[in-house]
């Protein structure tokens, strides 16, 4: 399949991809509940004549496509995530969410539609390549710190045949439509969760001397934790510690007996990451002790850092140049502090995630995870073309 054929083949089904996206967008389902989404996906994959397995790692779907071209060919896997977010949609689109309080606010409707498009194009041209393509439709990407990727991997999707390269994309509204963002090395961060429970002693709001005020102690813990980034971590090292949730007390005139903090820690350096449980535990403990309270820290490791393998990035960059032209390529210099469980797949095979520019002239000025988020649907054909071409280029590589 030549570059020109890829573009023509994608163009021919562009309206279909858009209609899949709109259907998925109108019917969002949260992580591990993607039942109708999975059925929708599986039905289409079967109609393309692919071998399909449902209920993989929960609600995941896997499809296999064997090339009928001459030669050996590698095994390339492509992954899309299918879950939506507990966000109330405010776009006013005619195909807006019909499921109250749920929305495809991270573009996973687009990812799923694109991967269906790739499956359709490649299945129609299976004589033109050798090797195996696996399609992973993954549940629960948004369900950090565990996430659905591990469940798919535990279900052995990376074996039989063993995956040589794995690719994924993410719609990226910070890049304009027609641009593709690539970066070798760290693209996204490790994201962990930390919960701290401060145990004080409740009492009358008018008699603080008889109580240990958990609100005051926890406030000092939150403030002290800010010094991890500012005083303990190399200033040139990407790092974030955010306490996003602080719950304490029930009544204005009662001193709260306990407080619960819940936060996220983002790193891109395993050595630094491994010091975090101890650092945070000792700060919380020391601050609490100074006030006669107690702190219990629970540190949960989440998604690892997402590392793009340089050869895989090269394969994507080459595909971008071929189907869109050199000028479409944006070499990213800085990673994101966001997390992505696609990182787990990259622990089992070489591969890369790239960012698909999706902000068009009519797109709202809203980031992902926002109730007003929407993207230019022109990006669906762009993403499909790049993934098809990158897959074809990679299938031809030598096994190393």
DSSP 105: -
* Region near Zn ion per CB under 5 A, out of 28-36, 99-107, 118-126, 377-385: 99-107
Is there binding between residue 248 and Zn ion (CB under 5 A)?
Answer: no
Does residue 170 contact residue 356 with C-beta atoms inside 8 Å? Answer: yes
Q: Shortest distance, CB of residue 106 to Zn ion, whole angstroms? A: 3
Quickly count: other Cβ atoms within 10 Å of residue 325's Cβ. 10
Q: Would you give the binding string for Zn ion spanning residues 102-121, x where CB under 5 A is met?
A: ----x---------------
Catalytic residue selected from 29, 89, 109, 141: 141
Instruction: Tell me: cis bond preceding 236? Omega within 30 of 0 counts.
Output: no
* Region near Zn ion per CB under 5 A, out of 61-69, 100-108, 159-167, 264-272: 100-108
- Closer CB to Zn ion, 370 or 391, in the complex: 370
- Closer CB to Zn ion, 106 or 387, in the complex: 106
Report the distance separating Cα 202 and Cα 215, nearest Å.
10
- Closer CB to Zn ion, 106 or 180, in the complex: 106
Q: Shortest distance, CB of residue 111 to Zn ion, whole angstroms? A: 8
DSSP β-bridge partners for residue 267:
190, 239
Catalytic residue selected from 81, 83, 340, 341: 83
Report the distance separating Cα 185 and Cα 123, nearest Å.
32
Number of amino acids touching Zn ion (CB under 5 A): 1
Report residue 357 as tokens. Answer: 């520019």
Concerning whether 376 is annotated as a catalytic residue, the answer is no
Q: Would you give the binding string for Zn ion spanning residues 303-342, x where CB under 5 A is met?
A: ----------------------------------------
Concerning whether 83 is annotated as a catalytic residue, the answer is yes
Q: Which positions ≥6 away from 253 have C-beta within 8 Å?
A: 204, 205, 206
Q: Shortest distance, CB of residue 89 to Zn ion, whole angstroms? A: 15
Q: Shortest distance, CB of residue 168 to Zn ion, whole angstroms? A: 10
- Closer CB to Zn ion, 81 or 164, in the complex: 81
Closest CA to 313 of 268, 351, 366, 364: 351
Closest CA to 314 of 400, 393, 380: 393
DSSP H or E segment with residue 247: strand 239-248
- Can you state the angle between helices 378-395 and 310-323, rounded to 10 degrees? 120
Residue nearest to Zn ion (CB): 106
- Closer CB to Zn ion, 106 or 216, in the complex: 106
* Region near Zn ion per CB under 5 A, out of 35-43, 61-69, 98-106, 301-309: 98-106
Q: Shortest distance, CB of residue 373 to Zn ion, whole angstroms? A: 10
Using CB atoms within 10 A of its CB, is residue 321 exposed (0-12), middle (13-18) or buried (19+)? Answer: middle
**Cα separation values, 50 from 41, 61, 82, Å:** 12, 12, 19
- Closer CB to Zn ion, 6 or 106, in the complex: 106
Q: Shortest distance, CB of residue 369 to Zn ion, whole angstroms? A: 6
User: Contact residues for Zn ion (CB under 5 A)?
Assistant: 106
Residues noted as catalytic:
83, 141
């Amino acid at each position: 399949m030549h570059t020109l054929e890829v573009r023509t083949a994608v163009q021919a089904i562009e309206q279909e991809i858009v209609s899949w996206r709109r259907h998925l967008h109108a019917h969002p389902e949260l992580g591990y509940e993607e039942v109708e989404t999975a059925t929708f996906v599986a039905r289409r994959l079967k109609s393309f004549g692919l071998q399909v397995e449902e209920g993989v790692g929960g609600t995941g779907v896997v499809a296999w496509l064997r090339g009928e071209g001459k030669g050996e060919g590698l095994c390339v896997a492509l992954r899309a995530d299918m879950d939506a977010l507990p966000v109330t949609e405010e776009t006013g689109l005619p195909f807006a969410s019909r499921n109250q309080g749920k929305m495809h606010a991270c573009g996973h409707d687009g990812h799923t539609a694109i991967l269906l498009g790739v499956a359709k194009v490649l299945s129609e041209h299976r004589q033109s390549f050798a090797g195996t393509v696996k399609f992973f439709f993954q549940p629960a990407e948004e369900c950090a710190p565990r996430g659905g990727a591990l469940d798919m991997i535990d279900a052995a999707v990376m074996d039989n045949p063993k995956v040589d390269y794995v690719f994924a994309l993410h719609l990226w509204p910070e890049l304009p439509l027609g641009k593709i963002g690539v970066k070798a090395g760290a693209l996204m961060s490790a994201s962990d969760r930390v919960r701290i429970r401060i145990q004080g002693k409740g009492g009358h709001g008018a008699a603080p001397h008889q109580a240990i005020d958990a609100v005051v102690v926890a406030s000092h813990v939150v403030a002290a934790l800010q010094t991890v980034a500012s005083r303990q971590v190399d200033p040139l090292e990407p790092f974030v510690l955010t306490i996003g949730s602080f719950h304490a007390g029930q009544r204005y005139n009662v001193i709260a007996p306990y407080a619960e903090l819940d936060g996220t820690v983002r790193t891109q350096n395993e050595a630094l990451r491994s010091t975090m449980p101890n650092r945070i535990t000792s700060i919380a403990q020391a601050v609490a002790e100074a006030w006669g309270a107690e702190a219990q820290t629970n540190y949960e490791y989440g998604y690892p850092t997402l590392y793009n393998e340089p050869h895989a990035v090269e394969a994507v960059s080459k595909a971008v140049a071929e189907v869109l032209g050199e000028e479409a390529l944006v070499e990213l210099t800085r990673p994101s502090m966001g997390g992505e469980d696609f990182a787990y797949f990259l622990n089992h095979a070489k591969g890369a995630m790239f960012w698909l520019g999706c902000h068009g002239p009519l797109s709202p000025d809203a980031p992902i995870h926002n109730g007003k988020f929407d993207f230019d649907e022109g990006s669906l054909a762009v993403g499909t073309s790049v993934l098809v071409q990158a897959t074809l280029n990679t299938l031809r590589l030598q096994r190393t």
